[in-house]
Structure 1
């Protein structure tokens, strides 16, 4: 029996269904599902993703059975739609669109009006009674086919856009602004000019055979799976290359058949901020690509469609409710209204901002459509999206001031909420180059409209501003998914690429000038505008806003309540005394990493005295000065955390970070001050500094090695910890310090340090007359520690994975120097994710797995955690859950993200 490659959807029945995304892609599966639930869908068929993989595995050839299956499916569509493909009397036209398993908006290619030629254009004009419509459809087809199939689409900003240049010239000559104002005669001329351009630049004639056209389009769509922008997009969102795309061939319906027709993109709820109600963009007398291309600024469905086409608007509203109820998710739909009749061309789960994701998920639960557990699914709220709710917003008073000093120069459609300030850049390639030169650069990408080719620039920009387009344009859609601040359809904005300027409201700015954009209001300001903390921060941290005053906070709190209810993994904070209040505000369950070296920077003179000391007595004298400062810092931290555990890492960095030749050079009197304080010569100070130099300090004299050679450092730090804890215990605070020894590779190293710590603890407890519950453990941050974890666990009461150094030492890759080659590695799929941002689960993760298993085999109740930077990254948090860790620890602002990721993995498990 032949393998089935083609699945029809027609006549109210689909051969597939919404659960077949792996086989049919998201678009094909949902077209079949819409058919099956009785929605009006133009007939068509889907060529499955399996063919895409066959296509690439077999030198871009198709399975032998495919041709007959496609021809049979075409005949079925002709029967249902009452037309004939290629007919000279009753022509039926097709569209050809991609459809990956996960939505990849605008990344792959589309062709409309397939089947047009010099004969069918005449028959279409007769059948429709509209000659202008027929020739407009023909010129659109030639342009799309020439771009997509015949390779004339510009690839860089310097490539000419032959078709657009001809179209613009034609509009100028005719004295009109938009394509739909051109006459049938002018469009006839344009068709001839387009064909001539194709012949000139490809050496081939434009194909007139409809079957040749449809196969050309199918091949182009499959080929677009591996274009640059699609690869970049998949890499960005972790979509496997091997999934492939499906191809959807569907009968055309027309929104450009006069003023009684329209095309649009609708959302069942606002996906910028999450407010309920069917909304979106539409254009009268237009085809679908016009809306998303952003060439014409569309009308708003919620504002005017009810007046323009009341019956169609009411039907769309009902369809939206039916889809949302059926899919239990906010939907993004494409539709065409042909002479009053509504046709559904696509539905998919809508991309949304973090603001909208939280509101929509919570509202759907409150409306009874989904459960709490369903609300927490990572496809609904990717954990990292919570970061958007914590980002700064523009200060209202600063905006008022800006209107006077910097000026509010324009206003557009707010498509991506937030506040962004940056320097103007016009081209995606320039934005990427500037970012690669300086990762801290702040850029606002300003375009007439964006296209999928701009993805790289959009990725590195702080915000996106376009002169054209609506809330469903490419810029808006992709910005929402990226969580970028975005304003589109800023009609008063004149963007001049040649001069490198933007103009609006009497103000002209050039490339490199600063502008500020408010994604909540759509306002554009010249210059910089001051920001203030988000509403969440104002409520939780600053307490300058009451919880009931913020709808954003109310829903956030409800969501986090569900998160805490379902997660298993605890979440701690990487924090010192200054960040304790932040960690507490975001609901940390302890401190997973207190870096004691950060505390020394505020008392750097005394610490440097210890460094240059030559004898133990000199060091102990300097350390005695540091003791009260350390004790006070630990007291502050313990008091803020109360009964929650606090993990304190003993001194870790190499000493040269605190005192080097650079420090002596930058501070002429430093050597003299140290000489007097310690009682040694200036030459001795300089010699000691010279001795601190290391060839590879990351693998040098640091971590527990410092504590072993200079045991008095460990003793001082342990005393400061236990004195602070004992004093608070006497005051009724139930303190739980955990003393962590860094960079252990041998059990003997940990034994040495543990003895000093425990001996010091007993002395302090005897002096204070009180005992404190505490633990001693280690960081697992070098491979040998992971591989000998069973042995080390005989001494260690807890492990905390220091994945920053564990990644460096496992991969032999310096996180300070890898920037020179890692972009190329990722670009060429040498590796997948950046290993310093997401745990390398097959390499570093394997070592973690060994350490967990062997450690708990020795000590059954061994506490396991992670304190590296990966502790707040969602996929890494989920991996830690799978390993059976007790907690993750991350920076305070990542706590909500880690908690949500932990809940999502707990529910998925």
Structure 2
């Protein structure tokens, strides 16, 4: 029995229950996107069936048991026809209850339609409605229909009997009662706890509203050409123009898209029959409607349509689903066709979606056999055979076999193996751990902190939670975009930097007002940065240049040297190698600034820790194994992160910085000979006191003077500091007079401000974020309140002492859109991030500038 009705007026100017006309009070924020789109289609004079829109407030009242005047609502539509109800949420991605078709079918209507359409068509309509009403309104068990033959002559009698048996009452015959049940069911489903949680997971607010549209049915069944389908003018995967979709004769709704449906192609196709051949007039009308919708709605739309005796009816228009690649091409084409502006095209692309274009990705249709999860540390996906050491990765690469490097955690010694691998998987680590940072720099898919898998490096095996064991040589896939590890080799989509991508990025560069540089440690990284149109190199970590086999031995000789002259002698062997690296770097980045960070890590990172490595070192140095072991153990530190590294090493072992400065200056001269003059930027790491800068600056100035004297060539350079300790930010006013620039290293600054280990925080960070301790992982999104306050203080105090001080952020936050927004407001001149994040940062910076421009 229906609840009492309110007798609410159903009319054109009623904002809660309104017949959709060109001027009806319908808005996306109050009635949902579907209702508003239907009104736009009505304004375009397209053949839309008569429709009534119910507002969010009205649906909320229906959920509470307050039913409107349903007879008055039905009277606005065809009293002798059938109706359907569809959800209309503010954002279609938020979901909603499924549509219910054929409301109004009852015994009398079934008998009438059997005469006009034939028994089979009438049976199909009635049986479909009984099934839908039973499941979605009466909430009966869907299994009750499993054993029924939906093509049987007595299917309606079977379905009615089953309903009466399960519901313990006859199937409702009154149209108002049917409609009231459907409206109430859909309204309550939207406001249920599980639906609300699902919406929130998709980014919807907890109190998001639902509108409903009640629409006259166009059956798609009957004499002449009848059916239903969908059509769009663009390929959802590539974004290229292509009339595509499906059509199924004698069908309703989206039946044509169901798996196994004997549907037709839309456009003429060699693979089978098409709508264009079967109903050419309807096909041309649909194409014309779609083109008009594209132009007037300023979007690529998918039409849901029904054909009734050859006549086209537009039931709905929805934004075409698209891949990131297609989204870029669609936005660019709309702008090039003058339908939207370039600025709007830029605003339509989610910056992080560019990762799908920059890296290989798993095909969305591929089956995923997920064996573990971790932190998505570096985007993209790659497949390879499991290896457990850097040496094994290099051997695999030499054989031409793709491999996945699996480690408990990576360290600088693993860099060569990372270069050789297709992907990296670690048991420990967070978003700014060694594996994550290097992986992003190399464009290497990486998942870290995969604690759901048991790593057994001694057994050379991985044990998964479901009991499976994967051994060295087995094939797995690492999805660094989703943080998943998969068994086997799913189908992939290749990276695609096409002409549309290049056009969009050119528009972004014209719009943005902050520079984007790249963190690049090798000439190969620099070339990638150049390819991605970075405005220079904001951070070159020189220590990564020392891990090649021919350099590592010399480096270890220098570490074991007791006297300054002996250290200098060993470093003389490294000098030409460093000079060659820097020269190539400068030549690749010709005309662009290059910021080189002086040596930063503690020296023990260059020493072996295993027995065989120690034996090899003893042999190379002609020393007893016991002496080497004792020396290595003595160099260990309780907390190397806060130990003798960075500027502390430069002051206590100054020969290293002397060699590096000389290599930089000699490379500057060599590179300037062949091209534009190079002005290198030299950055001192881990500064916390003014005197540190004075001491290092004095030595670097002396090296510069010596090189000028020997070569007779003049050159300029800029000296700056990496602000990554809280004290450096607080004492910026003292430090700035000795510098040309500050570069905020937000990875370490975050680590020191929070007292968190960036390598270990992944173990508990998700729990902290879930329980609201931190709103986001501070290593992933810059903490504006804490770390950001230090950054602003450092910037303000530094510029107070030196107004022309250049400011930058060179931690991984430099590639985060949210962090770039903060940097712009703080007056930062440029951000620097991994090469493969440069396009993301360029687009994010452009969107921020456009947002400010339009207010």
Q: CA deviation at 1:582?
A: 2.5
In 2, the alpha carbon distance for the partners of 1:293 and 1:569 equals 49
Structure 2 partner of 1:95? 85
Counterpart contact for 1:780–1:786, Cα < 8 Å: yes
Structure 2 partner of 1:35? 42
Counterpart contact for 2:160–2:171, Cα < 8 Å: no
Find 2:509's aligned residue among 548, 564, 572.
564
Structure 2 partner of 1:217? 186
Q: Tell me, yes or no, if structure 1 residue 104 matches structure 2 residue 93.
A: yes
Counterpart contact for 2:740–2:805, Cα < 8 Å: yes
Structure 2 partner of 1:300? 265
Structure 1 partner of 2:372? 434
Structure 2 partner of 1:606? 554
Structure 1 partner of 2:390? none
Q: Tell me, yes or no, if structure 1 residue 383 matches structure 2 residue 383.
A: no
Q: Tell me, yes or no, if structure 1 residue 762 matches structure 2 residue 705.
A: yes
Q: Once structures 1 and 2 are overlaid, which stretch shifts more, 139-148 or 265-274? A: 139-148
1:352–1:675 distance in 2 versus 1, CA, 3 Å: same
Find 2:77's aligned residue among 54, 76, 81.
81
Q: CA deviation at 1:331?
A: 1.6
1:226–1:611 distance in 2 versus 1, CA, 3 Å: farther
Find 1:283's aligned residue among 228, 233, 248.
248
1:51–1:851 distance in 2 versus 1, CA, 3 Å: farther
Counterpart contact for 2:81–2:216, Cα < 8 Å: no
Q: CA deviation at 1:323?
A: 1.2
Structure 2 partner of 1:414? none
Find 1:585's aligned residue among 510, 531, 535.
531
Q: CA deviation at 1:640?
A: 1.7
Find 2:328's aligned residue among 343, 349, 358.
358
Q: CA deviation at 1:137?
A: 4.2
Q: Tell me, yes or no, if structure 1 residue 638 matches structure 2 residue 586.
A: yes
Counterpart contact for 2:130–2:159, Cα < 8 Å: no
TM-score, normalised via structure 2 length:
0.75
Find 1:253's aligned residue among 208, 213, 217.
217
Counterpart contact for 1:376–1:563, Cα < 8 Å: yes
In 2, the alpha carbon distance for the partners of 1:807 and 1:144 equals 55
1:731–1:306 distance in 2 versus 1, CA, 3 Å: closer
* SS across alignment from 1:647: strand
Q: Tell me, yes or no, if structure 1 residue 688 matches structure 2 residue 688.
A: no
Counterpart contact for 1:779–1:802, Cα < 8 Å: yes
* SS across alignment from 2:313: strand
Counterpart contact for 1:726–1:765, Cα < 8 Å: no
* SS across alignment from 2:85: strand
In 2, the alpha carbon distance for the partners of 1:441 and 1:641 equals 29
1:668–1:321 distance in 2 versus 1, CA, 3 Å: same
* SS across alignment from 1:434: strand
In 2, the alpha carbon distance for the partners of 1:805 and 1:51 equals 53
Q: How big is each residue's C-alpha offset from its partner over 1:223-281, in whole Å with a ceiling of 9 and x where there is no partner?
A: 3784565444x2xxxx3534614222322424453474333233232222222254323
Find 2:208's aligned residue among 216, 219, 244.
244
Counterpart contact for 1:255–1:288, Cα < 8 Å: no
1:667–1:142 distance in 2 versus 1, CA, 3 Å: farther
In 2, the alpha carbon distance for the partners of 1:309 and 1:368 equals 32
Q: How big is each residue's C-alpha offset from its partner over 1:546-601, in whole Å with a ceiling of 9 and x where there is no partner?
A: xxxxxx33x44433333332222222222122322222233222111111011011
Number of residue pairs matched by the alignment: 732
* SS across alignment from 2:96: coil
Q: CA deviation at 1:629?
A: 1.7
1:22–1:824 distance in 2 versus 1, CA, 3 Å: farther
* SS across alignment from 1:793: helix
User: 1:844-859 to 2 correspondence within 5 Å?
Assistant: 844-859=787-802
Counterpart contact for 2:31–2:88, Cα < 8 Å: no
In 2, the alpha carbon distance for the partners of 1:359 and 1:424 equals 27
Query: 5+ residue gaps in structure 1?
Result: 56-60, 84-89, 153-161, 172-178, 393-417, 445-461, 463-483, 485-511, 516-525, 537-551
* SS across alignment from 1:624: helix
In 1, the alpha carbon distance for the partners of 2:365 and 2:314 equals 40
User: 1:101-250 to 2 correspondence within 5 Å?
Assistant: 101=91, 103-104=92-93, 107-113=95-101, 115=103, 122=110, 125=113, 129=117, 131-141=119-129, 143-144=131-132, 163=142, 167=145, 169-171=147-149, 182-190=151-159, 192-193=161-162, 209-210=177-178, 211-223=180-192, 226=195, 229-232=198-201, 234=202, 239-242=203-206, 244-250=208-214
Counterpart contact for 1:7–1:15, Cα < 8 Å: no
Q: How big is each residue's C-alpha offset from its partner over 1:802-842, in whole Å with a ceiling of 9 and x where there is no partner?
A: 23333333444444334434445566776665544443445
Structure 2 partner of 1:71? 68
Structure 1 partner of 2:540? 594
In 2, the alpha carbon distance for the partners of 1:421 and 1:7 equals 40
User: 1:159-558 to 2 correspondence within 5 Å?
Assistant: 163=142, 167=145, 169-171=147-149, 182-190=151-159, 192-193=161-162, 209-210=177-178, 211-223=180-192, 226=195, 229-232=198-201, 234=202, 239-242=203-206, 244-258=208-222, 260-291=225-256, 294=259, 296=261, 298-303=263-268, 304-377=274-347, 379=348, 381-391=349-359, 425=368, 431=370, 433-436=371-374, 536=497, 552-553=498-499, 555-558=500-503
Structure 2 partner of 1:701? 644
* SS across alignment from 1:302: coil
In 2, the alpha carbon distance for the partners of 1:514 and 1:691 equals 40
TM-score, normalised via structure 1 length:
0.71
Counterpart contact for 2:20–2:39, Cα < 8 Å: no
Query: 5+ residue gaps in structure 2?
Result: 1-7, 269-273, 385-422, 424-444, 446-473, 478-486
* SS across alignment from 2:547: helix
* SS across alignment from 1:288: coil
Q: CA deviation at 1:734?
A: 0.5
1:824–1:34 distance in 2 versus 1, CA, 3 Å: farther
Q: How big is each residue's C-alpha offset from its partner over 1:816-873, in whole Å with a ceiling of 9 and x where there is no partner?
A: 3344344455667766655444434455444434433443333322222222223334
Q: How big is each residue's C-alpha offset from its partner over 1:787-811, in whole Å with a ceiling of 9 and x where there is no partner?
A: 4444443333222232333333344
Q: Tell me, yes or no, if structure 1 residue 624 matches structure 2 residue 559.
A: no
* SS across alignment from 1:219: helix
In 2, the alpha carbon distance for the partners of 1:782 and 1:247 equals 53
User: 1:668-817 to 2 correspondence within 5 Å?
Assistant: 669-673=615-619, 675-676=621-622, 681-729=624-672, 733-817=676-760
In 1, the alpha carbon distance for the partners of 2:114 and 2:492 equals 60
In 2, the alpha carbon distance for the partners of 1:828 and 1:192 equals 51
Q: Tell me, yes or no, if structure 1 residue 657 matches structure 2 residue 598.
A: no
1:422–1:223 distance in 2 versus 1, CA, 3 Å: closer
Counterpart contact for 2:579–2:664, Cα < 8 Å: yes
1:823–1:527 distance in 2 versus 1, CA, 3 Å: closer
Counterpart contact for 2:131–2:145, Cα < 8 Å: no
Q: CA deviation at 1:738?
A: 0.8
Structure 1 partner of 2:803? 860
